[in-house]
């Protein structure tokens, strides 16, 4: 009974040993290139099925087997204690660098909103529209409370004597209209030229020969007045778009023409555009005419009470200057810089970050950091 039992165990052990030997042999075959045609190598046959001990084993070709071994090796390496410490240090360092960069570009974005950059452009035209021109006597009638022009001050009146378009010597006196302006400082006797926005005068020439020349006369104060009294005219240029003349602009004008001289104003058209404000408000988007004045003594004063003065104006060049204000660092620049740095420093993109939240939840449930390491270091 004892010998029978012993024999049975031996047979059972031999059978198990045989199965182990067969399995080992089947696994060892994974390192060989198996064939289905009499031992000849045939790389087209990648998988052989070997039935061993009732178990189904899939045998891989050399390429697949090598790839599997490499994957297992990399996985073992990444789980190494020292490698994990090193990757933790790298992640902390890169995260710190990203936070520093994000704060830096955030400050740059905030500063750009308060201090827009300006770009100066020049556009050359075949002709330019002459601005609306307003000429006033420098002396105003001292009756700011009277809304009607009474002209109680003879020395505050200015009279147009002549107007000539110098390019063709055409008389342009009819294009001027008397235009009294009541301001907080008193009544100004003024004349306006080229005020109809539907009938704008253009200029295709520059310099004095392409300008408009005018002559004006005015009464001057008698000699018994203190020498502090002044005589002359002031000149204003406005865009001819139908907008009413701002009285404050007349009262605060800084361009003057003294008597006994022909003052030549060389204009330059300047457009200011504020794109950072996203508005078409003319308060911010303006067209002005800057000028450089020069004078020559062409006129004579016939007596001590009447004086003449000349005012001529033309364009310096047939190009307009455009000053465009814009945000130098926009929200698009900010997003692009942040996305670029997070991709460069940590190799992350929107999809990987989004799926990372699910991996974090899984790692928390498992109480294991391995899923996070595999996801973000993979």
pLDDT, tens only, 281-297: 656 788 888 888 888 88
Please state, in angstroms and rounded to a whole number, the distance separating the CA atoms of residues 161 and 235: 16
In this predicted structure, the answer to whether residue 111 has a pLDDT above a threshold of 60 is yes
Question: What pLDDT does residue 46 have?
Answer: 41
pLDDT of the residue at 45: 39
pTM (predicted TM-score):
0.60
pLDDT at 329 over 80: yes
| pLDDT computed for residue 136 by the predictor | 92
> What length is written for the chain?
378
pLDDT (0 to 100) of residue 266: 92
Alpha helices in the chain (DSSP H): 2-28, 62-78, 81-114, 247-251, 331-346, 350-366, 370-377
The number of CA neighbours under 13 Å toward the Cβ of 12 is: 6
User: Residues with Cβ < 8 Å from 196, sequence gap 6 or more?
Assistant: 240
pLDDT of 38 > 50? The answer is no
Output 46 or 179, whichever has higher pLDDT. Answer: 179
Dihedral of CA 184/186/191/196: which sign?
Answer: positive
- Which two tokens mark 189? 């006797």
Q: Which of 176, 98, 180, 179 is nearest to 146 (CA)?
A: 180
**Most confident by average pLDDT, 33-37, 137-141, 308-312:** 308-312
Report how many helices (DSSP H) and strands (DSSP E) the chain contains, helices first: 7, 19
Judge whether 129 and 168 are in contact, CB under 8 Å.
no
pLDDT of residue 223: 58
Angle at 168 between CA 167 and CA 173, to 5 degrees: 100
Q: What percent of the chain has pLDDT over 70?
A: 66
pLDDT of amino acid 145: 55
β 319-326/262-274 pair status: parallel
Hey, what are 360's tokens? 């974090």
DSSP for 35-60 reads -SSTT---TT---EEEEETTEEEEEP
- For residues 331 and 251, the model is more confident at 331
Q: Within a 10 A sphere around the Cβ of 158, how many other Cβ atoms?
A: 25
In this predicted structure, what is the pLDDT of residue 264? 93
For residues 222 and 225, what is the distance between their CA atoms, to the nearest angstrom?
6
């Amino acid at each position: 009974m004892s010998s029978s039992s012993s024999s049975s165990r031996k047979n059972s052990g031999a059978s198990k040993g045989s199965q182990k030997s067969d399995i080992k042999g089947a696994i060892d075959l994974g390192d060989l290139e198996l064939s289905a045609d009499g031992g000849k190598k045939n790389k087209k046959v990648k998988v052989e099925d070997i039935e061993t001990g009732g178990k189904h084993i899939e045998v891989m070709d050399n390429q697949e087997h090598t790839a599997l071994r490499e994957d297992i090796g990399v996985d073992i390496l990444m789980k190494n204690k020292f490698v994990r410490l090193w990757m933790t240090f790298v992640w902390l360092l890169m995260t710190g660098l990203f936070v520093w960069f994000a704060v830096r570009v955030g400050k740059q974005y905030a500063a750009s909103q308060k201090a827009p950059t300006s770009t100066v452009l020049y556009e050359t035209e075949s002709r330019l529209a002459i601005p609306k021109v307003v000429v006033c006597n420098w002396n105003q009638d001292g009756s700011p409370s009277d809304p009607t022009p009474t002209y109680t001050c003879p020395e505050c009146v200015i009279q147009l004597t002549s107007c000539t378009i110098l390019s063709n010597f055409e008389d342009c006196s009819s294009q001027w209209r008397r235009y009294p302006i009541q301001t907080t400082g008193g009544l100004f006797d003024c004349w306006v030229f080229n005020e109809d926005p539907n009938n704008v005068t253009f200029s295709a020439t520059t310099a004095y020969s392409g300008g408009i020349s005018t002559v004006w006369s005015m009464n001057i104060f008698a000699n018994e007045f203190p020498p502090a009294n002044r005589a002359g005219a002031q000149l204003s240029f406005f865009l001819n778009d139908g907008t009413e003349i701002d009285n404050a602009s007349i009262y605060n004008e800084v361009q003057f023409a003294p008597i006994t001289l022909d003052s030549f104003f060389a204009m330059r058209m300047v457009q200011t555009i504020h794109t950072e404000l996203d508005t078409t408000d003319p308060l911010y988007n303006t067209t002005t005419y800057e000028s450089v004045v020069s004078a020559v003594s062409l006129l004579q004063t016939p007596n001590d009470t009447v004086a003449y003065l000349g005012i001529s104006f033309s364009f310096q060049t047939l190009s307009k200057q455009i000053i465009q204000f814009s945000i130098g660092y926009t929200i698009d620049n900010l997003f692009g810089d942040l996305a670029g740095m997070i991709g460069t420093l940590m190799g992350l993109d929107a999809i990987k970050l989004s799926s990372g939240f699910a991996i974090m939840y899984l790692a928390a449930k498992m109480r294991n950091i391995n899923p996070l390491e595999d996801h973000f270091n993979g």
